[in-house]
Homo-oligomer: A and B are copies of this chain.
Amino acid sequence: MNLLLLEDQDFISSDVVRITGRRHQQLRTVIKAAPGKLCRAGLLGGMRGHAEVLEIDETSAVLRFAAEDAPPPPLPVVLLIALPRPQTYTKVLNCAVEMGVKRIDFINSFKVEKSFWQGSRLREEYISNELRLALEQCADTILPEIHFHPRFKPFIEDELPEILPGASRIAGIPGAEAVPEDFAGSPVLLAVGPEGGFTDYENDFLLEHGFTGVGLGPHILRTEFAVGALLARLSVRK
């Protein structure tokens, strides 16, 4: 936890919070909080700063929060990714959020197993918890939006035009000539296929809808590393 994430319901006065549950446990055992100790904190959806521990016991901690600076700027990338198997899904969620992505759309693809759409990790409670953990890791306060689109073509044809209009559209396609860093520094819709890649039909459909293929080089990366590498190369300083 690099940032204690505070929510509206934690506040017991204008600047004092009472923390219980998981965050309290982490304050006790990992941060070893004691009265007077300062820790980095941030208000969900708002400013970051420091919180001073006023009291801590076996059930809760009371801290005073002082806001100092804005959260880090988002990465201007919307990630469109074929819904991966559950463990990979969680890694993708964590990686993208930690790298500053503020919108992830999980999409369908021929190679996505139908059962993945029924997974318990797609439930709001699971996502809500994972997103908070990722924000605490990367010291951000802005919750990303997560969307699910179990139909590929209607999503690309009908819904995509509403998302980040004017953004460059790129798709990770092994062997493509262009590279992600060509598109760094401006808004990007980034499509990533399933393990084994989009089908030829899907690739063609994306290209017909304004996507440019980008490659990462000769090594074939598993999904979560491909996402990380694409986002990192879209983060290069221009």
CB contacts (< 8 Å) of A137 on chain B: these are: 220-222
Interface stretch, picked from A53-61, A186-194, A198-206, A211-219, is A211-219
Give CA–CA (A227, B218) in the complex, Å. Answer: 19
Q: Which of A219, A221, A225 counts the most chain B CB atoms within 10 A?
A: A219
Give CA–CA (A43, B120) in the complex, Å. Answer: 41
Please, what's the 1-or-0 string for A218-238, where 1 marks a CB less than 8 Å from any CB in chain B? 111110010011111101110
State whether the Cβ of A143 lies closer than 8 Å to any Cβ in chain B. Answer: no
What residue in chain B is nearest A238 (Cβ atoms)?
B181
CB contacts (< 8 Å) of A229 on chain B: these are: 99, 228-229, 231-232, 235
CB contacts (< 8 Å) of A225 on chain B: these are: 94-95, 98-99, 228
Give CA–CA (A225, B179) in the complex, Å. Answer: 20
What total of chain A residues lie within 8 Å of the partner, measured CB to CB? 31
Give CA–CA (A236, B231) in the complex, Å. Answer: 12
Give the residue of B138, B221, B235 whose beta carbon is less than 8 angstroms from that of A98: B221
A179 & B236 in contact (Cβ 8 Å cutoff): yes
State whether the Cβ of A139 lies closer than 8 Å to any Cβ in chain B. Answer: yes
Give CA–CA (A235, B73) in the complex, Å. Answer: 24
Give CA–CA (A140, B221) in the complex, Å. Answer: 11
CB contacts (< 8 Å) of A138 on chain B: these are: 219-221
State whether the Cβ of A88 lies closer than 8 Å to any Cβ in chain B. Answer: no
Please, what's the 1-or-0 string for A40-73, where 1 marks a CB less than 8 Å from any CB in chain B? 0000000000000000000000000000000011
A26 to chain B, nearest CB (A): 14
State whether the Cβ of A172 lies closer than 8 Å to any Cβ in chain B. Answer: no
Please, what's the 1-or-0 string for A111-125, where 1 marks a CB less than 8 Å from any CB in chain B? 000000000000000
Interface CB pairs A-B, < 8 A, 12: A2-B220, A72-B217, A72-B218, A98-B219, A98-B222, A100-B217, A138-B221, A139-B219, A179-B237, A217-B235, A229-B231, A229-B235
Q: Interface on A for B, CB 8 Å cutoff?
A: 2, 72-73, 94-95, 98-100, 137-140, 179, 181, 216-222, 225, 228-233, 235-237
